[in-house]
Structure 1
């Protein structure tokens, strides 16, 4: 159901339409999963952190991660049989490495994945990992086209690439569109690291949070921020201010990756983060998830260091650059973080019965690693995203879980 017409101007595509297409303005009413919408010279840019939060941190990694629209989708009701979306992407590339795969657009019709496509052109953010420098090389707008959709009223979702900054330029259809009405599904708000963001997932609707949301019948807002789940106060305020029926926060791996803080700071920072979330959601089910298994950092502190030896062949691995002996000085490892998170939740849950804990190794543990090892030492592959999504749907959203429908 996908025809690629990348970079072709609208006039050149006019003969593809039986009747002149309808162009619908892209507004917040058509976008699910974004917290902010920025007007740009080309169109609109979805953000997953509000402008006030973005203004409080100049870190380039965070800026890139929150502008990559993981979990963001255009959602509308229509009887259109053809849909075109013009978009200007910004794609990551690494000096000395083969090109990364193009981002994927997933088309869902009435909740079922029925088509996939992509755009070419766009900007390229060229990163030199040896120096940390980056250069943006501009490119043209591209188009993704889906045709042959069923000729009936239906709910359509176009999930935007989770790993490419995406400016939305124009939406064209052969029938009118309207925003989806509220279907009554519970709203799940999730925050985590690149694993939650979707690193190495096959497509945007198959990141583990998207799969878990689909299995559990909930509406996802994904604040998984690659490299940036760092207990930042502005992220806690974003969670606080977003309407939600269910909230989960997955804490740990980025604090070790970056070697950001010691144990003395970690405990109070977790308390402060949860306090802020609770200001806006005092009784909402809140699940604290500790890290999944990551052998390089189970007992070895960070930071994580890239191994460039296979970069020219497209292989990048990560190593733990810390010294296990440094745990005595308060350096964080994943086992230290898991123990502290379990302690904090036990302490707080005495006065907060809606606060819960999930050990991340129940989502991906030693037996899973033996069967599905982390390809680069840090990030799960597409099959492991499916495994984690299924496990979370069962353990958190299923019967007896903290997010089970009868406990909402």
Structure 2
């Protein structure tokens, strides 16, 4: 006869969480944010608000003998009108550094977005529970990685044995900023986004400031990087500037300099790696903005297309090719005095051969296999022998 667990409810406090820059108390519980309140107050863009509140890289980090863990959470998931349902967010369980299971929560709020008009509406729903049973009966290090693609309000944590915060393991702290590709779209789970894979292989504690649609050289993001403790920093710049058609070449160079200047105010000698865009054929030589392909949407598929004209490059419109050249030039110029500043061409993570084998499903975002490949390559190039992060690596 089975015996019901004798539950211990542990308050979810900041010392049990890693990867968040701010925690907001809500009517339901605790909402992790990946930008501080001051930054959030400086921009009213709804896409940024959604992206920074989706907890990519945020995880509960515990040491416990528990054999059962339950986490109550209220999710807010996004769906697109007229398109197939997007996969539910998943919670990844990692025990002593190894994948140990996944769970989902039911219920929650639903944000429906109409890609054709840009309108959105929200339907409220109940709290759900992610459950991890049959864990090994021994003292162990446990991480529960929260979904990268759902806003997640943490409501309650229950276990059948006491928990304590995971102690500092002496690993270097790595803060990474990038676009939705760094955010996680469309990885298999939160612990297998390419930055999470790279951090695990490189023995680093990741704080992921990949912000879907919002890697736009915003000054408040630079200040967040400046003010966040870090042993290692990387910034991946480019695709969002093209697919939003946000600025021209005249503004881009000074904006990159200003962004890096701000980061350097808080981290004057920290290894800082500037990563240019991965291959994206629709925008290699064609400016943005990107737009949903309405013919594909009518057929129930999400695909994007470039709406700019290649001839507009002469007037300063940005393409990925233009951005790569300019980033390489800027880093080369600055590195003459800043020996801890480095550059990585994003096509070394995902290039022509990769696209031939693992094409971008929606023409913008890599799939789960490509995420893993990119993470493995970044780990080798950045954390491996001779890489810019190699001397700061701690034993795994």
* TM-score bracket, shorter-length normalisation: over 0.9
Equivalent residue number for residue 4 of structure 1: none
Q: What is the alpha-carbon distance in structure 2 between the residues aligned to residue 309 and residue 228 of structure 1? A: 26
CA distance in 2, matches of 1:369, 1:310: 20
Q: Deviations over 1:101-123 (max 9, x none)?
A: 11110001011111101011000
Tell me: CA distance 1:17–1:131, structure 2 relative to 1, closer, same or farther (3 Å): farther
Q: Give the distance between the partners of 1:132 and 1:106, measured in 2 at CA.
A: 31
Distance 1:268 1:88 in 2: 42
Does the Cα contact within 8 Å between 2:276 and 2:324 map onto a contact in 1? Answer: yes
What secondary structure, in the 3-state scheme, does the structure 2 residue paired with 1:376 have? coil
Q: Which runs of 5+ in 1 are unaligned?
A: 1-14
Out of 52, 65, 75, the position equivalent to 1:89 is: 75
Q: What is the DSSP-based 3-state SS (H/G/I as helix, E as strand, rest coil) of the residue aligned with 1:288?
A: strand
- Partners of 2:43 and 2:328 lie apart in 1 by 29
Q: Does 1:381 align with 2:353?
A: no
1:328 aligned residue: 314
Q: Which residues of 2 match residues 108-147 of structure 1 at below 5 A? A: 108-147=94-133
Kept after mapping to 1: 8 A contact 2:204/2:393:
no
What does the per-residue CA deviation read over 1:260-290, in whole Å, with 9 as the maximum and x for residues that have no partner?
Answer: 0000000000000000000000000000000
Aligned ranges 1:238-387 → 2 under 5 Å: 238-311=224-297, 313-387=299-373
Q: CA deviation at 1:100?
A: 1.4
- Aligned equivalents of 2:224, 2:187: Cα separation in 1: 25
Pick from 180, 185, 205 the counterpart of residue 166 of structure 2.
Answer: 180
The equivalent residue for 2:145 is 159
| Paired residues of 2:64 and 2:140 also in contact (CA < 8 A) | yes
C-alpha distance 312-81 of structure 1, shift in aligned 2 (>3 A): farther
Could you list the runs of 5+ residues in structure 2 that have no partner in the other structure? none
RMSD value, Cα: 1.3
Q: How much has 1:313 moved relative to structure 2?
A: 5.0
Taking the aligned partners of 1:72 and 1:312, their CA distance within structure 2 comes to 35
Counterpart for residue 191 of structure 1: 177
| TM alignment of 1:64-79, pairs within 5 A | 64-79=50-65
* 8 Å CA contact 1:98, 1:313 repeated in 2: no
Specify which of 20, 30, 41 is matched with residue 16 of structure 2: 30
The 10-residue stretch of structure 1 (20-29 or 64-73) with the greater mean CA deviation from structure 2: 20-29
Superposition deviation, residue 406 in structure 1: 5.7
Number of residue pairs aligned between Structure 1 and Structure 2: 394
- The verdict on how the C-alpha distance between 1:195 and 1:19 changes in structure 2, with shifts beyond 3 A counting, is closer
1:60 counterpart = 2:50: no
TM-score, length of structure 1 as denominator length: 0.95
Deviations along 1:235-284, whole A, 9 cap, x unmatched? 00000000000000000000000000000000000000000000000000
Give SS of 2:155's match.
Answer: strand
Q: 2:186 aligns to what SS in structure 1?
A: coil
Structure 1 residue 95 displacement after superposition: 1.2
Residue pair 1:98, 1:312 contacting (<8 A) in 2 also:
no
Q: Is the 8 A contact 2:184 2:190 kept in 1?
A: yes
- Counterpart of 1:222 in structure 2 is 208
- Aligned to 2:323, what secondary structure does the other structure show? helix
- Are 2:190 and 1:204 equivalent residues in the alignment? yes
Cα distance in 2 between the residues matched to 1:299 and 1:145:
47
How far 1:17 sits from its partner (Å)? 6.1
Q: Deviations over 1:175-226 (max 9, x none)?
A: 1100011100000000000000000101000000000001111100000000
Mapped contact 1:197–1:225 kept (Cα < 8 A): yes
CA distance in 1, matches of 2:392, 2:211: 30
Question: Which of the residues 71, 83, 87 maps onto 1:101?
Answer: 87
